Amino acid sequence: MQRILPLVAAQAPPRLIGEPISAFVEETSKALEHHPSAKLVVFPELHLFGDGDPDLQRTEALQESAEPLDGPRVSELRQLAGDLGIWLVPGSVCERGPEGQLFNTQLVLSPEGELAGYYRKIFPWRPHEPYDPGDRFAVVDLDGTTRVGLNICYDAWFPETTRQLAWMGAEVILNVVKTTSPDRKQEVVLARANAIVNQVFVVSVNCAGPTGQGRSLIVDPEGNAIVETPDAEPTLLAADLDLTAVDRVRTHGTEGVNRMWSQFNSGEPAIGFPVYQGRIDPATWTPQSPDLRNNP
C-alpha cells in the first residue's frame, strides 16, 4: 500500500511580532505555489515572533505577545489552514498557560481548520529561554496517512525525545528550529542520528538569516538527506515522503542489517536504566501503530 506525504518546509526569516496575519497568509500561499500538491507546510520555531535582533528574541516582547490556545492568534491560524485545505505547522507560538505560564508551543492545524494537536517544548534552551517546560510528548495522525511527532529545536539534543515519539508511533518527526548560534552544524548531525537510531523521517527546519543559521534538511529513516540547504538563505524544501520506507527499513534493517526495534527475543528479561529509575521491557518495546484506518 503506497503512502506518500507531500510537504514543504520553509527556511524563512521570522516575521516581526505584531505583524498582521495577512503577511503570513501570503507567505504560506507562496510555499504552496512552490509545491502545489503539498498536504503539509512547516515553518520554523517561533516564526511569528521575530523582533529583528537575535539577541533579543527571548525578552519581555515574547511575554507580552503570549496568548492562550483559544486566543485570536490561533483562531486566525485555524482559519488559514481551513481556507487553504492543508495541514499547517506555523512553527511554534508563545502560549500563555492556564496558570500564567509561558510555553513555547508547536501547533498542528488541520485542513478542516481545527487545532489537531499541540506540543509544549519540554527542553527549553537553558539559561537563554524564559519558557516553562512542557510535561508531555505529542503525536498527531494526519488523516490516516501517517503519524507525526512534534519536536522543538533543543529537544533534538536529548535522544529520549525522538525515541519516545517513535515508540508512540510517529513515522515523521517535525523538528522546528530557531538556531541563531554556531551549533547548527551539530544539530544537522543530530537530525541524521535521530533518524537512524529510530528509523523515522526527520524534518528539521531552521529559520533563515540574518537571524538564523539555516541549514535545514529532511532526512529519511536511514539517515540520508532527501533535501538540504547548505547555508542560511531563505528557501523552500519540498519532498514527497514515501512512508512505506519506515516499514521497509524496520523489517529489513538499516542498510539491510540493523533492526533496533526487533532487538529482543520473546521472554527475555527487562533491562534496567537507573538514570531513569526505569527499564526497557521487551514485552513493550515494539512501537505503536499509526491509525491508518482512513487510508484508501
Beta-carbon contacts of residue 283 (< 8 Å; ≥ 6 apart): none
Q: How far apart are CA 282 and CA 296, in angstroms?
A: 33
Which helix (DSSP H) or strand (DSSP E) does residue 193 occupy? Answer: helix 184-198
Active-site residues, by number, are 45, 121, 153
Residue 214 cell numbers, joined: 539555516
Beta-carbon contacts of residue 30 (< 8 Å; ≥ 6 apart): none
Residue with cell 500500500: 1
Q: Dihedral of CA 220/221/224/230: which sign?
A: positive
CB count within 10 Å of CB 27 equals 16
Query: Do the beta carbons of residue 80 and residue 24 sit within 8 Å?
Result: yes
Please, which residues bridge with residue 217 across strands? 204, 228
The DSSP code sequence of 116-179 is EEEEE-SS--TTT--PPP-----EEEETTTEEEEEEEGGGGGSHHHHHHHHHTT-SEEEEE---
Residue 207 cell numbers, joined: 529559520
Phi-psi category of residue 215: left, alpha or beta, with phi > 0 → left and psi -120 to 50 → alpha: left
Query: Do the beta carbons of residue 218 and residue 40 sit within 8 Å?
Result: no
List the one residue out of 281, 203, 209, 213 whose CA is nearest residue 243. Answer: 203
